[in-house]
Chain A
Amino acid sequence: MIVAMRARTGKTSPQSLTAAGDVILVARAIDGDSLAFETLIRRYAPIMRAYAARIVGSPAEADDVVQDSFFLAWQRLPDIRDGAAVRAWLMRIVSRQAFTHLRRRRADVPLPLATLSSTDSRQPEQVAVRNAQFSALSAALDRLPDDQRQCWLLREVAELSYREIAEELAISPASVRGKLARARASVGADMEAWR
């Protein structure tokens, strides 16, 4: 009956929202716009999945962790201080969720670390070098103690400041610096060994 006038212009679609910056998407999502939140999910889920997989080891478990993280993010969204920093904010959530998951699982049975990526089939030689570098780094990261790996990922991948990491882990900024320095030295030494 009233369906006739549906052809209005400029109806918001997920496509039109992909052009929007984080600040706009976060503002809308806080106001209850689930489409805006879905756009944020599509934007940041890939890196969050990779991040979680680095910690929990299995892509399937990482997907569960990321799903929980987004659900939590939706609930906590009104607390976000700066919409422009939503990426770091999400990474913080996924980091926390992943380590919680890991601790819970270790209480049960240890799971062998899955081999991620390195299934690249592009330019053979260049990729080979790069892949070797990546797998060396990958192995080095896996060898880090949890606390160092957590700090390292928060700093280098989530790109949090020392202060933010300190706040996140409830330790002092000096201790964050110490852990990062040790992590870097260990990874560096491992990488050196690979060379």
Chain B
Amino acid sequence: MNDLTRTQLDCEKSLDELSDYLSRDRTPYDESIETCPECLNALEALERLGPLSRDLLAEDAAALPPLSDSWIGRIMTNIHREMRSGRSVPISHSDPHVTVTVTEGAIRALIRAAGDAVTGILVGRCELLGDLDTVDAPITVRVTASIAWGESVPGLADEVRVQVYRALAQHTQIRVVSVDVAIEDVHIAERGDAPSSEGERP
């Protein structure tokens, strides 16, 4: 492909051979390469090309004009057209001519907001397990969350549970039998979003 790549080093090895050797993670061990200073230098130079490429792209990224809000806005507009609202969860009404429902998407957003309102918590996934189509069917809520570094896991998980119960009781008719909170990740609290207890930062 490239004549230069067949160029031999003084030790008679070519860049092609050395690159190939690198691609095989330097196995099987090749003594003629591993003991030749010229080859070792070339290997090192070749190995640097990966990190250098990453740096180059980082440099490219930094040199590009900043993202405009309208650019992001256009993506968001398209996304909103494709919103996933999930199942329709019934709300009872005395009038048989009336059907009232709340979307699963709205309920998930409500749960996220309730959990996020607990300082030091960011909710991840939330699932509603059970027969959502039937009023009064027992439902289990399963929530994953990230906790701010240094916060007490059991304390905040309990608080999330309380807030989620409260929000669902306030806005839906779902009979929640349990709220399971799994802390899956740790994050560094934002400045101004100081954790409620002591010893926040690493």
A/B touching: CB–CB < 8 A: yes
List residues of A whose CB falls within 8 A of some B CB: 8-12, 15-21, 23-24, 27-28, 30-34, 37-38, 41-42, 45-47, 49-51, 53-54, 59, 63, 67, 70-71, 74-75, 116-120, 133-134, 137-138, 141, 145, 152-153, 155-157, 177-178, 180-182, 184-193
Q: A23-B184, A67-B71, A75-B82 are in contact. Are A181 and B4 (CB under 8 A)?
A: no
CB < 8 Å neighbour of B2 from A12, A23, A30, A185: A185
Q: List 19 A-B contacts (CB under 8 A).
A: A20-B187, A23-B146, A31-B108, A31-B112, A32-B108, A33-B108, A33-B109, A49-B64, A49-B67, A50-B61, A75-B82, A134-B52, A182-B19, A184-B49, A185-B5, A186-B2, A189-B4, A191-B49, A192-B15
Q: Taking chain B's interface residues, is the majority helix, strand, or loop, or is none over half, making it mixed?
A: helix
Contacts of A59 in B (CB 8 A): 64-65
Interface assignment of B185: CB less than 8 Å from any CB of chain A:
yes
Give A24's nearest chain B residue, CB to CB. Answer: B124
How long is the Cα–Cα vector from A37 to B186 in the complex, in angstroms? 19
- A-B contacts counted at CB < 8 A amount to 206
User: Number of B residues contacting the other chain (C-beta, 8 Å)?
Assistant: 73
B85 pairs with A32, CB closer than 8 A: yes
CB proximity to A under 8 Å, residues B34-90? 42, 45-46, 49-50, 52-65, 67, 71-72, 74-76, 78-80, 82-86
How long is the Cα–Cα vector from A36 to B1 in the complex, in angstroms? 45
